[in-house]
């Protein structure tokens, strides 16, 4: 009984002091802030707009919006402009690199059918990857990682197979 009276007294005093409602000091009257004066004292930074637009898509949208006359004009301009040079694919892979790629793909397919890769198979694949050209190496590594992530292949080695 005494405890309940004590708790009730503490609650009443707390409410009276404003602690229950979160006020630690008496409320202050509303103050108006002059927004125009505050904005005038600090200039706003210039807006930055970075838009990435595909020029081919933009031309197609403009041609669709303007109709057949614009399409005819854009065809005439396209005929006058020189075609860009194709990107250089790089040197062709050597016969050793092609053989390494074939060895790696054969090993990879065999391991994928088994569902597991042993330490010896991991080392064999690593040796084939070293002798591949960069494009083949990236493709084989991508396929290997995807198979591992999709739980199609479990690697028994305690190290990465590539």
Centre a 10 Å sphere on the Cβ of residue 117 and count the other Cβ atoms it contains.
24
Query: Which tens digits make up the pLDDT trace of 104-155?
Result: 999 999 999 999 998 899 889 999 999 999 899 999 999 998 998 998 988 8
156 pLDDT band, cuts 50/70/90, is confident
Q: Is residue 32 scored above 80 in pLDDT?
A: no
Domain boundaries, the chain: 95-155
For helices 119-131 and 134-149, the axis angle rounded to 10 degrees is: 150
9: left (phi over 0), alpha (psi -120 to 50) or beta: alpha
Residues 87-96: contacts with CB within 8 Å, 24+ apart? 90/135, 93/132, 93/133, 93/135, 93/136, 94/133, 96/131
% of the chain surpassing 90 pLDDT? 24
The reply to whether the predicted model has a pTM over 0.75 is no
């Amino acid at each position: 009984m005494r405890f309940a009276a004590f708790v009730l007294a503490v609650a009443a005093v707390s409410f009276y002091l404003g602690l229950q409602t979160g006020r630690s000091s008496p409320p202050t009257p509303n103050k108006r802030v002059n927004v125009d004066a505050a904005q005038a004292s600090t200039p706003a930074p210039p807006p930055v707009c970075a838009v990435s637009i595909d020029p081919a898509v933009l031309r197609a949208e403009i041609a669709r919006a303007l109709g057949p006359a614009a399409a005819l004009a854009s065809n005439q301009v396209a005929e006058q402009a020189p075609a860009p040079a194709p990107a250089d694919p790089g040197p062709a892979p050597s016969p050793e690199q092609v053989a390494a790629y074939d060895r790696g793909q054969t090993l990879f397919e065999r391991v994928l059918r088994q569902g597991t890769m042993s330490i010896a198979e991991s080392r064999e694949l690593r040796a084939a990857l070293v002798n591949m050209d960069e494009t083949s190496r990236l493709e084989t590594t991508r396929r290997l990682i995807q198979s591992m992530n999709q739980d199609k292949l479990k690697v028994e080695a305690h190290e990465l197979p590539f």
